[in-house]
Chains A and B, each alone.
Chain A
Amino acid sequence: MGRKRNPVEPGEFEDPIHNYDPPSYADELERVLCDTEVAQMRIQPLACVQKDATVQDALDVMKKHDCSSVVVQDGSKALGIFSARDVLNKIAHDPSARAKPITGYMTEHPQKVYASDCPAKAINLMAIGGFRHIPVLDIDENVVGILGPRRTTQFLEEHLI
């Protein structure tokens, strides 16, 4: 609802957002989820391979970084994501897949968030889309990080205390 205001005299300054009502949040956790940025969550380190890598290359990177997903990139753009679920569904029973290109086994066109998006958006994507790992992009669509279950859980618990 706009606030009642007095008529403005000629030459007098009128605040263009005088009737703006800032959002209100029930508690600090809600504020943090809606009013901060994904960039403030832990989005690094980022494990990635280029599109010409093999499945074995991706497995080596996952083992080295002790992580359960890698972003498959074309330069600095995200082409797909390869995760522990892909290993379970496509690789575990097929040892010959190791030497094949990662592009045949990754999940293409992963859902992404921008570093400037609010954490609630990332959580919505995880809940609605069922995505566990979400690449984080800068404004030029370059991959700058990744969000996963551990990092999201850590973020939530830090702000719950």
Chain B
Amino acid sequence: MGLREDIMTETVDQLPLRRAVTVTPETSTEQAIKLMRESQLGCVFVVDEFDRPMGKFTERQVLSLVCDCDPLDGPVLNHMVPIPDCGCVKKSDPIAKVLHGMRETRLRFLCVIDDKGKVVALTGQKGLMEYITEHFPRQIKVQMMASKLHMNSREGA
């Protein structure tokens, strides 16, 4: 099977998933930023009382707040971005849905939910790249050794 077929047929649970960090809507923006920094993640999910995702607060929102000199106090609810349907995937969904969801939402992170809609993990660009890289072991070896050009100018030019 080729990579394309694998992406179309294999499921999200084949991807390297990461532990999702969740906060309540009342959590302060400063606390959410602290959690992102501590967990070395670029995203926290804002969840309701049933652990269902309401929105996400990412480093992109932090950047926007800092650029606009907006204060970081106040609840994270004020700054989160709602998660559209394509921003959530289930472990049984095909990996192609992750790719599609990332493109549609223009974000690096997708929320992995269970059958009851609860947040169970985080996936996104890094996991997808790791998955793809596993398909090219030969190329990795060659490219890690040859990471610099040996020529200073075009051959024969």
Chain A interface residues (CB < 8 Å from chain B): 25-30, 33-34, 59-60, 62-63, 68, 84-85, 87-89, 91-93, 114, 117-118, 120-121, 123-124, 126-128, 130, 132, 139, 149-150, 152-154, 156-157, 159-160
Contacts and interface: CB of A to CB of B under 8 A. Distances in A.
Contacts of B132: 33, 123, 127, 156
Interface of B: 1-5, 7-8, 30, 33, 36-37, 42, 59-60, 62-68, 72, 96, 99-100, 102-103, 106, 108, 125-126, 128-130, 132-133, 135-136, 139-140, 143-144, 149, 151, 153-154
A160 B64 CA distance: 32
23 contacts: A25-B2, A26-B1, A27-B3, A29-B7, A30-B2, A30-B135, A59-B63, A60-B67, A63-B64, A68-B60, A84-B63, A85-B59, A87-B59, A88-B33, A120-B139, A121-B139, A124-B136, A124-B140, A126-B126, A127-B133, A132-B125, A150-B103, A152-B125
A132 B60 CA distance: 13
Contacts of A93: 30, 33
Given A30-B2, A139-B153, A150 B106 contact: yes
B66 A91 contact: yes
Main secondary structure of the interface of A (DSSP, over half): helix
B73 to A, nearest CB: 12
A124 B37 CA distance: 25
B2 to A, nearest CB: 3
Contacts of B65: 92
Contacts, number: 123
A119 B45 CA distance: 31
B126 to A, nearest CB: 7
Given A68-B60, A85-B42, A132-B126, 17 more contacts: A30-B135, A60-B67, A62-B67, A89-B37, A91-B66, A92-B33, A114-B149, A121-B143, A123-B133, A124-B136, A127-B126, A132-B108, A139-B153, A153-B99, A153-B102, A156-B132, A160-B96
